[in-house]
Chain A
Amino acid sequence: MNIPVREVRATQKLSFVDGDIHPAFRQISDLYPFLPARWREHMQTYGEHWRQGLSGQLSYPRMMASGMRADAFPEDGPPGSDLKLMQTQHLDANDVEIGNLVALSRGGMEERNLDFAAALSKAVNDWQIETWVKPEPRLRAGIVVPQEDAAFAAAEIERRASDPRFVQVIFAPRTSDPLGHRRYWPIYEAAERHNLPIGLHSGAFSGGYASTSSGWPTYYMQEHYGFFTTMQTVMTSLIFEGVFDRFPKLKIVLIEGGFTWAPALGWRMDKHWERMRSEIPLKRKPSEYMRDNFWYTTQPIEEPFKPEHLGEVIGWLGWDRLIFSSDYPHWDFDHPRYIFKFHVTPEQRAMVLRENAKAVYGYK
C-alpha cells in the first residue's frame, strides 16, 4: 500500500482489540476429530437440519464470493480457514492486539436436533481452542451454545468458564422464542455468574420465524437490513421481559448489528413504557438498562451524510459502549484506521479501539 510515512508512524501505535473475527473450516471433516463417532456418522448421513428450504447453503446468496473478501482466499479452503493467512493479512498487518473469534457455523445454534446440536457445540468449542487459540494466543474463543437447549447451554458454559481462553458466550439472535423468555434464563444465569458477556452475532439462519413481521423479504438487501431490526427486537425483549432486573450484571454485546438505531429505540421504549408501565413493573426506565447492559461492535459502521452526526449519536449512546470490529474475512470488512470520518479525541479513539473491549471482556 502507498501510505505516507507520517501515517505509517501513526499506525504503529494503532494496536486494537477486534471484536469480530470469523474462523472457518477448511472442510467439514475438520470438525470430525472433535465429534463422537455417532455424530460424525449423523453428519455424513443426514447433515444439519435447519428451519429453511435450502440445505447447507444461504437462502439469500451474498453479493460477492459468498460474502468474503476476494483477497482473503487461502490456497486451500475458504477465507478464515487458514491461520497463517489470517496472521499475515490481518493480525500482523493491522496490529491486532487481541481478536475475538465468532464461530458462526456448525456450532449447533440453528440445529433442530438438540442432541446433535449439543455435540456440535462441544466440537466447535474444542476446535476453536485446538486450531486457533493454542497456536495463536492473540485470539480468544467464544463458547458457542445451542440456545434452544438452555440446560445444555448452561452446562457447556460451566464446563468452559474456568478456561480464560473463552471470553464470552455466543449464540444466534434469531432464536425460537424472544430472547427475554424465561426458557433462556439458565443461560443468562450461568453467563452472569461467570462474568461472561453474551455476544449475539447477526445471523443468517432463523429460529423458525420470518425475519420481518410481515414475512420473508425478497432480496439480500432486505435480509441484510433485517440484521439491524432484529437487534432492536432482541433489545426490547431482553429489557421488557425483565432479564436485567433478574440478572443486573449481565452483559450483552450486539455484534454486527449496527448501533445508530439504539438511542432512538431507547427514547421510544421509555416513552411508551411510561404510558403503559402498569403492564410491566420494571425497576428502571428501559433506556437505563440499554445504557448499562448493552455494548455494540462497530462493523458495518453507519455512515451519516454529515460525518459529525455519527459523533452526536455516539454521544447519546455513550462512547464507552462501542467495541471496534473488522468482521475479517467478510467482504464488508472495516479498517480501524478509517472508521471515523469526523474529529474524535485520542481518548475516544482509544475507548473504541481498545479500552471498552478490555473493560467488557476483562482483558488486562
Chain B
Amino acid sequence: MKLPPGAIDCDIHPGQPGMDELVPFLPDYWRDQFENRHIDRMAFNMTSYPPNSPLSGRPDWRTADGKPGGGLDLIRKNLLDPFKLRFAICNMLHGAIALYNEDMSAAICSAVNDWTAKNLLDPEPRLRASILLPMHNPATAVAEIERLAHDRRFVQVLLPVMGDALLGKRIYWPVYKAAERHGLPVCVHAGSTYRWAPTPSGWPAHRVEDYVVQSAAFENQVVSFLAEGVFHEHPKLKLVLAEAGFTWLPNLLWRTAKEWRGVRAEVPWIDRNPAEIVEDHVRLTLQPVDTPNEDPAILTRLLDHLGSDRFLLFSTDYPHWQFDGEDALPEGWPMASVSNLLINNTLDTYPRLREASDSRDNAGHDPKNEEQVL
C-alpha cells in the first residue's frame, strides 16, 4: 500500500562517509595515526552489510557507481520527497564499532556523529539521527552521550544487536541511566561485531543465515533486558529494536509470560507479566516485514496475536531492499492502526520528536493537517 503523507521513518541508512570525509572531524593525534598507519585508506564496511549484497541496497536506491544509500540528494529524491516523510532517523552503523581498540573506535564514532550533524542534519530539517555509541567501555559511551545530548536532533543512541555482551548486564546500566536522563531511547539495530559466534553451534557458512538468525539475537537481548531488571531500574527507558523483524514477537511474549511463572523467584524484579513490561518499554521498527506477500491475512492475524498496536514504528530501512516500489505500508495492515504505526507510536517513544512535532514551524508541516490525512 502507498503511504499517506506525514509518516515518520524510524530506520534509514545514508551512505557511509569514506574515511577521507571523517578525518577532518578527528583530533590531531588520530589524524596522524590514520595517515601513518593507512587507516584512512580502509573501508570500514561491516561484515553484516556487504555493500554489493542485494539486501544492502535496493537496485533503484544505489548511487551511479552502485553504492547503497547515497548522500543527501539521493535521500531526498528516493525517500523524503516521494514518501512525503515528516521525519526520518539516520542510523549510521559504522564499521568502527567492530574495532578492538576502544580508543580508536570511540574517535571514529565521534567523527561519524559529528559528520552526520554537519552533512545531514544541518542542511535537511526532516532528518534526525542516532548517536552511534562505542560500547567497549560504558564510561566512554556515556561520555559520547553527554557530549552530544544537547543537540536535540539526536533522538536516540545506537548499538548493534550482537556485541561484546548481552545488553541487559549491569555493566551497561550507566549508559541506560544517561540515555534515560536525556530522553534518548536505546536503539538496538541489526548487525554484529562478531565477538561471539552468530549461533550457539558456531559460525554459519552463509550471509543469509547470519541475517536470518539475528531475530534470535534480538529475542535473547529482550530477555536479557527483562531478566536483569533493566526496566525496573530505568522506568522511563525505551528500547527500540531496528531491522529486527517482528513476527517472532508473539512467541516471545507467550514464552516469557509462561517462563516467568516458573522462574520468578530467580528474577524477583520482574514484578508483573513480562509481556506487559515489553509492551511498555520495547518498540520495533516495521521493516523487514517477514510474512508472505501473497497472503496478507497472515500479517493481519499476527498483529492480532501481538495483542496491541503500540509495538511497531514505521520504517523503510532505506536503502536496504526490503520492499519494492512505493509499497512501504504492507498489505494486510489494519486501517485503524495505521496512524499509530506511522506517527503516534513514534511520538510516544521519542520525546525529542514529540517536541519537534509540537513546534509548528518544522519544515512548514502542519501536524493537524497530516493527522486528517491519516
Contact = CB atoms under 8 A, between A and B. Distances in A.
B169 A234 contact: no
A219 B164 contact: no
Nearest to B249: A264
A210 B248 contact: no
A181 B201 CA distance: 10
Nearest to A271: B290
Contacts of A236: 199, 204, 209, 212-213
Contact of A305 (B162, B220, B307): B307
Given A63-B263, A267-B291, A213 B216 contact: yes
A265 interface: yes
A230 B263 contact: no
Interface string B250-279: 110111111110110111000000010000
Contacts of A237: 199, 201, 204, 209
Interface stretch (B103-111, B142-150, B221-229): B221-229
Nearest to B261: A303
A216 B266 CA distance: 17
Contact of A214 (B167, B201, B205, B209): B167
B370 to A, nearest CB: 31
Given A207-B202, A225-B255, A237-B201, A273 B169 contact: no
Contacts of B202: 175-178, 207-209
A272 B292 CA distance: 11
A305 B164 CA distance: 35
Interface residues of A, number: 69
A232 to B, nearest CB: 5
Contact of A221 (B162, B197, B215, B266): B266
Interface stretch (A110-118, A125-133, A186-194, A274-282): A274-282
B4 to A, nearest CB: 25
A61 to B, nearest CB: 9
Interface string B123-159: 0000000000000000000000000000000000000
Contacts of A210: 196-197, 200
Of B204, B253, B260, B304, which is in contact with the most chain A CB atoms at under 10 Å from its CB? B204
Contacts of A258: 251, 255
A215 B196 contact: yes
A332 B262 contact: yes
Given A213-B197, A300-B258, A264 B220 contact: no
Interface string A214-250: 1111111110111011101110110011000000000
Interface in B152-189: 161-169
A183 B312 CA distance: 42
A331 B213 CA distance: 30
B267 to A, nearest CB: 6
A41 interface: no
Contact of A230 (B200, B221, B259, B288): B200
A220 B290 contact: no
25 contacts: A176-B201, A209-B202, A210-B200, A212-B196, A213-B162, A213-B198, A214-B220, A215-B195, A217-B227, A218-B228, A221-B263, A225-B223, A230-B200, A233-B201, A240-B209, A258-B255, A260-B254, A264-B290, A267-B247, A268-B247, A271-B288, A275-B321, A305-B257, A309-B250, A331-B262
Interface of B: 53-55, 161-169, 192, 195-209, 211-217, 219-221, 223-224, 226-228, 245, 247-248, 250-251, 253-260, 262-263, 265-267, 275, 288, 290-292, 298, 301-302, 304-305, 307, 321
Which A-B residue pairs are the 8 nearest by beta carbons? A233-B199, A229-B216, A264-B247, A268-B290, A212-B220, A221-B263, A276-B208, A261-B251
Given A174-B201, A207-B202, A214-B163, 13 more contacts: A63-B266, A175-B202, A209-B197, A212-B196, A213-B220, A221-B227, A230-B199, A233-B216, A260-B255, A272-B208, A272-B212, A272-B288, A312-B301
